[in-house]
Chains A and B, each alone.
Chain A
Amino acid sequence: MTEGLKVIDARNSFCPGPLMELIKEIRQEQVGAVMEVWSSDAGSAKDIPEWIRRAGHELLASVAEDGIFKIRVKKLR
């Protein structure tokens, strides 16, 4: 775990819940902030990186660990 990393725990939330949680959180953060959303929804694991790209942020990592998808993003704007 990266020190200071903001984790958005959206496990057990249905699509588009995890993405909604990320959008709400990223709007509150400063440019340059790094956060990681946790989702148990496989669809969100595809949807969230697409949203990150389209919304102009940076996808830092997307991994699956024990059925949990962890997507790390840096706010760019």
Chain B
Amino acid sequence: MANPEALNIMLLSGDYSKIQAAAMLTVMGASYDKPVKIFVSMEALPAFHKDPAIAGTISQGPVAQKIVESGADSFIDLFRQAKEFGQVTIYACSLVMDLYHWQTDDLVDIVDTTLGIAGFLSAVEGEPTYTM
């Protein structure tokens, strides 16, 4: 059943700043007891790979570089904290997983499972969903 209080995100960008913004939204939403579902796809998914050589391929603009230099929590840290705060589920897009022949174990442990777009649309139907 659709929950109008839910917060859902389609995370598609491979830009560090957008992923960081999604993580900040997620942690705040979770702190308000909002259930949060995040579908990580396209250029965003490599950012969640365990291998730093792969995760490091995402782009960093000037603001992202400042964030990193400041020593602020990374988006991985923020997503992890969000999962401690509340009901946060992170899905890895099946398409990208298949393209790279990755398994869930290849991704950082904050990713819960893989899911296709139809499954995500069904999971968030009728609920607020943002695309980044």
Contact = CB atoms under 8 A, between A and B. Distances in A.
A55 B29 CA distance: 10
Contacts of B72: 14, 17
A14 B72 CA distance: 7
Interface string B24-39: 1001100110000000
Contact of B85 (A14, A16, A17, A23): A23
B27 to A, nearest CB: 7
Interface residues of B, number: 10
Contacts of B85: 23, 27
B interface, over-half SS: helix
Chain A interface: which size bin? 10 to 19
Contacts of A20: 27, 73, 81
A55 B32 CA distance: 6
Contacts of B32: 54-55
Contacts of A55: 31-32
Interface in A1-40: 14, 16-17, 20, 23-24, 27
Contacts of A17: 72-73
Interface of A: 14, 16-17, 20, 23-24, 27, 51, 54-55
Interface of B: 24, 27-28, 31-32, 70, 72-73, 81, 85
Given A14-B70, A16-B24, A55-B31, 16 more contacts: A14-B72, A16-B27, A16-B28, A17-B72, A17-B73, A20-B27, A20-B73, A20-B81, A23-B31, A23-B85, A24-B81, A27-B85, A51-B28, A51-B31, A54-B32, A55-B32
